[in-house]
């Protein structure tokens, strides 16, 4: 079990490092055009959609069948739905368009944590299954989409009046939950191996909910929908190739 937990933690650290590198863009830029942000989000959406199916839902169906996979998918979606309703949070891009209000920074941090948690959880579940090839393929895809995601967090913090150092630091910290979520889910899979298909589908449901409720609306927020769709397709193909090759 120790080897699996170490690999899961390393996979989460790779995702955290990619988020940190993306956040460091705030050292050099104070803003990104609406077109670039939409393209970033489109690419991330494609990666996460493909990862949800090829790395999570498809294996869940093969191992556990339709019933447990459907139940796990629904449970993951409902968890994110509940967090949307009951946990106060605010997305950084929306917040950066307005003047700062008391408590806004904490709400943004909570929103980013809720966004990244399913990614870390999903990475850990696949590592916990013992399929290192698939796990590192998923990690590579998540890390690729974490790079622009880091920039989309740190740059809005600049617009809220934070210094470059603090904006980058907050951007990096937004990814800390990924290695923590990865090692936790890998541990759960090892302890409750019979629930592996449920956990796989759970991760897929949580990520699909985040895509539909947060990422797609943000990706179309600047009016460059066609560019968003093009980069979404590129991201989907990228993750599909990674899943086969790695």
Long-range contacts of 112-115, Cβ-Cβ distance < 8 Å, separation of 24 or more: 112/153, 112/174, 113/174, 113/177, 114/80, 114/83, 114/84, 114/87, 114/89, 114/210, 115/210, 115/214
User: Can you tell me the mean pLDDT for 23-49?
Assistant: 80
The whole-number pLDDT of residue 148 equals 80
Non-local (6+) Cβ contacts of 18 within 8 A are 142, 143, 144, 146, 147, 150, 175
Distance from C-alpha of 203 to C-alpha of 209, rounded to nearest angstrom: 10
Q: Which domain holds residue 133?
A: 2-27+35-245
Distance from C-alpha of 134 to C-alpha of 184, rounded to nearest angstrom: 18
Does residue 63 or residue 108 have the better pLDDT?
63
Does residue 234 or residue 171 have the better pLDDT?
234
At residue 242 the predicted structure's pLDDT band, cuts being 50, 70 and 90, is: confident
Residue 67: Cβ within 10 Å count: 9
The pLDDT > 90 percentage for the chain reads 40
Report pLDDT digits (tens) over 68-82. Answer: 999 999 999 999 898
Residue 208, token pair as written in the block: 């699909």
Residue 233, token pair as written in the block: 């397709």
**Highest mean pLDDT: which range of 24-33, 49-58, 171-180, 207-216:** 49-58
Number of H helices, E strands in the chain: 11, 0
Sign of CA dihedral 31, 138, 50, 75: negative
User: Of 64-73, 127-136, 200-209, 216-225, which range is least confident?
Assistant: 216-225
The whole-number pLDDT of residue 42 equals 87
Sign of CA dihedral 90, 94, 96, 99: negative
User: Of 23-27, 89-93, 182-186, 241-245, which range is least confident?
Assistant: 89-93
Residue 52's alpha-carbon distances to 69, 144, 171, 219, in angstroms, are 12, 15, 24, 18
Tally of domains in the chain: 1
The whole-number pLDDT of residue 153 equals 77
Tokens 């939409």, residue located: 38
């Amino acid at each position: 079990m120790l080897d699996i937990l170490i690999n899961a933690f390393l996979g989460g650290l790779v995702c955290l490092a990619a988020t940190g590198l993306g956040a460091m863009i705030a050292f050099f830029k104070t803003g990104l055009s609406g077109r670039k942000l939409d393209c970033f989000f489109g690419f991330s959406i494609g990666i996460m959609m493909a990862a949800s199916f090829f790395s999570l839902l498809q294996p869940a169906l093969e191992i556990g069948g339709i019933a447990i996979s459907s139940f796990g998918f629904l449970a993951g979606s409902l968890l994110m739905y509940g967090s949307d309703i009951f946990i106060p949070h605010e997305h950084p891009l929306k917040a950066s368009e307005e003047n700062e209000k008391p408590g806004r920074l904490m709400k943004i941090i909570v929103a980013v944590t809720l966004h990244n948690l399913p990614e870390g959880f999903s990475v850990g579940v696949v590592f916990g299954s013992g399929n290192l090839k698939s796990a590192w393929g998923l990690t590579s895809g998540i890390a690729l989409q974490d790079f622009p995601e880091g920039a989309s967090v740190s740059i809005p913090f600049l617009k809220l009046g934070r210094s470059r150092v603090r904006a980058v630091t907050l951007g990096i910290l937004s990814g800390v939950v990924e290695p923590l979520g990865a090692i936790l889910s890998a541990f759960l899979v090892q302890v409750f191996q019979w629930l592996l298909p449920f956990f796989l589908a759970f991760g897929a449901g949580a990520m699909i909910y985040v895509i539909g409720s947060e990422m797609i609306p943000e990706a179309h927020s600047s009016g460059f929908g066609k560019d968003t769709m093009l980069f979404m397709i590129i991201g989907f193909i990228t993750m599909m190739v990674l899943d086969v090759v790695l």
